[in-house]
Structures are given as structure tokens and as C-alpha cells.
Structure 1
């Protein structure tokens, strides 16, 4: 029988996000995560293995949390036309101007050389696009809406664009108009 688990993996991953959000991806070290979490470096190594494994785990956590946010929006919407893309737009409306939100993007750019991680992210993105397209009344408009909402998120996460909450709501309303059932404008399929 092994020792009981004392360290909360989520707390380690949250500490890693804080380090990246505060100091940038280049400053993510096992020592920095250990210091932020208030545990030993050996505990971080025991829990995560290596820096690369830690980075993958942080990215996977961010993807999972984003997926949960989208699923919650889908659950709120119920059975409506274009639910998949509308759920994504609705989830984007709840932007948290927290540096941790940008962590996965920062780490992805820092790990551009990791073919396995890049492949997993491409598959996740491809699967989501396929689900959106299958659910869409107008696949062309749904694709434009997907690209617009994800582009907006990236611009905000990297700090290239700062909208007021009213400005953000207006942009998301315009994106949502592309996939409203009565919408007859926008990109064609």
C-alpha cells in the first residue's frame, strides 16, 4: 500500500497557472511552481514528473475547464438551432480578465515544438469544428462565427485587444447574429 496522496494535483496546476500568468511561460520552472504551491520541488516532480508533463497537464486542465464552460452554456441553451456554436459564443460572453485564462495559449506557443501536444490540440479543434458544422443550419456562417469568437478570445488573452464589457457584448451579439435561425446574412456555405 502506497502513501496517501497529500498534494492536490489541481492546486499544483493552479500554482503553475499563477506562475505563467504572473511571470510568463519562460519563467515556468518546477521550483517556481513549488514555491507558489508552498510545497517541495520533489513533490511537484512526484506529482507531475517533468516540466513538459506539467505543461501538458496545465494545458489539458485549461482545455477541460473551457469545455466545461461551453457545456454549461449548452445546457442552459437546451435544444435550440445551432446549439454548438451558440453555446461557444455564450461561453465566450463570460470572459474572465484573469491572467490564468491566457495560460494555455502562452504555454502552447512556448511548446510549439511538441508535436504530440500540437496533434492533440489539432484533433480537439477539428472535432469541435466538425460538431459545430454538423449542428449548423448554415455551416459557412457557423465557421465564420467559430473563427470570430476564437479570434476574439485569443486577442483578449494575449492582451492585444481590450474591450469594455459593453463593447465585448456588442461584438458577441454581432457574431451570434451569424447563427441566429432567422439570420440570412453573412458568409455562405
Structure 2
């Protein structure tokens, strides 16, 4: 994150972790495998948040989008930055692109754009993802209060 995706090398990871390059390579044979493992960890943490909100969400067709927006609101800023940096680094991978496309396809499958509720849910998803990109890539310095207010507004205006 500090030096940008181009500087994410096995040598840099080893130096940052205080282990040998061989130690990193023993656990992760390639840079792509390392990045995939790092991203899988971030995604699993995010999915835990979403699942917790999903378990409490009212039973309606937009509940997955509501859980996604609530998980985004509750995500740690550093975790979001890590996710954005890892995504930028790994987006070139056909497998990662497929997994990401499948993830968003699954979210959008819960949306019926033929209805007003569905169109609002689609806008809510796009707004939350836009805020994530701005914050994750460090393009706008949202305060914690701003971040919460944005997500509260997304829910109040689009998902209530």
C-alpha cells in the first residue's frame, strides 16, 4: 500500500515481514499466489461483516445489497485500502477478474431493475462501490463521521 502495487514484490514482502525471501516463497510459490491469499483474507473479513448484517436484514429482495452497504460502512479504512491496492495489483489476473465478475454478478442478480426498489438498490450498490473506490485508492480523505453519514444516506435514501 505504501509504495504502490508495482513495488509489491516477493523481496519487499520478505523485508517487510522480516523473513527470508525463501521463507515467503516456501509459503507462496508466486507473487500471484501471495496476492491471491492476501486478497482472500481481506474478502473473507468483508464477507463476515456482510453475513452478520445479512443474518439480521429484513427478508426482502434487496437484503443482499443492504448487507453489502452496511458491511462497507463498517469496514476498517485500512482494510479497504488494502483491498483496493490488492485489487489494483491483481486485476490483470484472468482468474481474479473472473472471481470478481462472478461476485458482482451475484450481487446484481439480487436486483430487479424493472422495479423502482430494484433501481434504487442498484444505485445504492453503485454509490457504496464508488465511495469504496474513492476511499480505498486515497482519492478523497473521508473522515469516519463522513463515511458513516454517506452510508446512512445510501440506506435512508435508496434502501428504506
Scaled by the length of structure 2, what TM-score is found? Answer: 0.84
Are residues 163 and 113 of structure 1, via their aligned partners in 2, closer, same or farther at CA, if it must alter by over 3 Å? closer
User: Which residue matches 1:185?
Assistant: none
Q: Corresponding residue for 1:133?
A: 111
Structure 2 gap ranges (5+): none
Alignment match, 1:89: 69
State how many pairs are aligned.
Answer: 156
Partner-residue secondary structure (3-state), 1:126: helix
User: Counting helix residues as a fraction of each chain, which structure ranks higher?
Assistant: 2
Partner of 1:6: none
Q: What are the residue-to-residue correspondences of 1:17-166 with 2, within 5 Å?
A: 21-75=1-55, 77-81=56-60, 82-98=62-78, 100-130=79-109, 132-133=110-111, 138-166=117-145
Q: What's the C-alpha RMSD, in Å, of the aligned pairs?
A: 2.2
Structure possessing the higher radius of gyration over alpha carbons = 1
User: Deviations for 1:39-92, whole angstroms, at most 9, x for unmatched residues?
Assistant: 2211211111111211122222222221112112223x2444332122112112
* Unaligned ranges ≥5, structure 1: 1-20, 181-189
Normalized against structure 1, the TM-score is what? 0.73
